[in-house]
Every structure is written in C-alpha cells, then in structure tokens.
Amino acid sequence: MAFVQWDPAVYVRRASERARPFVELVARVGAEPEAVRSITDVGCGPGHLTVSLADRYPLARITGFDSSPAMIAEARATDRVHFAVGDATSYRPAPDTDLVVSNAVLQWIDGHPGLLGDWARQLRPDAWLAVQVPGNRDAPSHVAVRELSADPRWSDRLTGIAESGPVLDPAGYAALLTAEHCEPDAWETTYLHDLDAEGDVHPVLTWLEGTTLRPVIAALGPGDYPGFAAALTARLDADYPIGDGHVWYPFRRVFVVARKRR
Ligand SMILES: C[S@@+](CC[C@H](N)C(=O)[O-])C[C@H]1O[C@@H](n2cnc3c(N)ncnc32)[C@H](O)[C@@H]1O
C-alpha cells in the first residue's frame, strides 16, 4: 500500500454512518463487560469510537493505535484510553489482551486473513476478536475507481494503489477462525445510506474521499486529482443519480466476532 495521507476532518463528515457498524460489531462481543480488562483497537482512526468502549467496559485499559499520525493527533486520550501511532502488520495481541477490535481497517492490508489468523493464534482462551471490513468492491462506485485508475491518464501513478485488498465472505472468516480454535459469529449487512447532496460535489464522491480515495488523492496530488474526480463524478452521476437532493448509497460490510476456545 502506498503512503496514504488520511484526513480526519473528511473522514468524520459521515460519522454517524461510519459509527453504526462499529456499534453493531461490538454489541456481538459476548464477554461480561466487567471481565474485560485490556482492549486494543487496531487502526483506531480519530479515536472517538475507541473512547466509546470505555462506557461499555468500565474496568478496561484501552489502547487505540493507527498508522496515521494525523488520525492519532485528533484522538483524545483519557485516563483509561491511550493512543499511539503503530502499524497493524507488526501488532500481535499481548498475553493479557481480552478483546481486539478492528473496524474498517484490515481491507487496507495485503494478505490480511493471514494476519487475522496470527492474532487469533496469539489470543489466550476466552479472549475475543471483533473485526469489520467493507465488502463493497463490486459496487459501481468501487468498480469506477478501479477502472479509472487503469485509464492511461492516471495509470502510471495509480496502478495497484487504489485497490484495497479483497475481503472474505462471512463464511471465509468463520472457517479461518474456526481453524484457529475460535468460535466465530460472522455475518454481513448492506446498509442503505441516505446521503444528502450538498453543493456541487456528488455525495458518493464525498464519502469515497473519506476512505477509498485516500491513496488516489495522495498519488495524484492537487494537480491531477481534480481531473480524476471529474471523471469519477460522471460515473457516479450515472450510477447514483441525485433525486430530491439526496442519494441512496448501498454499502456492504462483513463482520466477524470470535471467542477463543479454552
Ligand atoms: C476507515 S478508517 C477506520 C478508523 C476507525 N477504526 C473507525 O472505525 O472509525 C481506516 C483506518 O485504518 C488505518 N490504517 C490503515 N492501514 C493501517 C495499518 N497498516 N496499521 C494501522 N492502521 C492502519 C488508517 O490510518 C485509518 O485511520
């Protein structure tokens, strides 16, 4: 993955839509809240969701880390929630970790199923994993980003970089974690986001600029990104027409929560 400049201000524009999968993910963790003493949030972003874990788990020490210094600069530590810059690929759960959460991160990491398997292997019995990844690669918006990245106008800088890695289906994550002596609960949800059109920018473009387009923006820079955005907007106008000032944007996400067996 190329260097990606994350922009917390852009990311949180759709904070409530982005929060819902996190809430629904963590709700499926079956541990007694008082029994959870140590939590790691891998790829915590700006940290507001990490901090929400302190309410659900009143006795836990919580660490959120993220590879983006800009995201960590936004995160607000408390007496029980700490933040640090760090890379998920070199993370392994400590022996006392009770819960590893990773929301909308692993799709950025090549070969992430292997990494997830490593985490599961390291977990102590009765510890929990809770992972959510977007499963929207085949959506018209994401197909358009890939196809335009292959266009000769931009392909010299974009080949391979606009690709977040393929994610597994729920059954794939369930099989992976069962093989690592976990009891998985895996599912998928397609959210139908109601995006308001504000100003001239297509709302799906605004959504994509918070996440999927970060590598494209970084690679093309302010000189060439506007041309790419204009071409993408033409595709989005056709695939997600704006009616009555808003757009319905379906977004599939894949979830897996698992407890390590004794
Ligand atoms: C879509 S945001 C999700 C942030 C947060 N988990 C949330 O749910 O709001 C993806 C985050 O993954 C982080 N990220 C991407 N690759 C990473 C890696 N290898 N290690 C740690 N964080 C990573 C990005 O910096 C970004 O903050």
What are the strands, taking DSSP E only, across 86-140?
99-103, 128-134
List the chain domain ranges. Answer: 8-260
Using a 6 Å cutoff on CB, does residue 45 contact ligand 1?
yes
Average pLDDT over residues 65-89: 96
Q: Is the model's pLDDT at 110 over the cut of 60?
A: yes
Distance CA 199, CA 123 (A): 48
Q: Mean pLDDT, to the nearest integer, of 155-176?
A: 88
Residue with tokens 């729920």: 170
Provide DSSP, 30-70: -S-GGG--EEEEET-TTSHHHHHHHHHSTT-EEEEEES-HH
- In the reported structure, the alpha carbon of residue 43 is separated from the centroid of ligand 1 by a whole-number distance in angstroms of 4
Please state, in angstroms and rounded to a whole number, the distance separating the CA atoms of residues 191 and 76. 29
pTM value is 0.92
Of all atoms in ligand 1, which is nearest to the CA of residue 91?
A: 20
> What's the pLDDT score for residue 143?
95
pLDDT in tens, 112-151: 999 999 999 999 999 999 999 999 999 999 999 999 999 9
* CA 71 to centroid of ligand 1, rounded, Å: 9
What is the average pLDDT across 61-86? 96
User: Is the pLDDT score of 2 beyond 60?
Assistant: no
The span from the CA of 221 to the CA of 133, in Å, is: 27
Question: Which class is 8-260 in CATH?
Answer: alpha beta
How many residues comprise the chain? 262
Lowest mean pLDDT among 45-54, 95-104, 193-202: 193-202
Question: Would you say the CB of residue 22 lies under 6 angstroms from ligand 1?
Answer: yes
d(CA 24, CA 31): 15
Whole-number average pLDDT of the chain: 93
State how far Cα 175 lies from the chain centre. Answer: 21
Distance CA 20, CA 43 (A): 17
Q: What are the φ/ψ torsions at residue 62 (nearest 5 degrees)?
A: -125, 130
Pocket-testing residue among 13, 23, 108, ligand 1, by greatest number of atoms within 8 A of Cβ: 108
Per-residue pLDDT at 11 exceeds 70: no
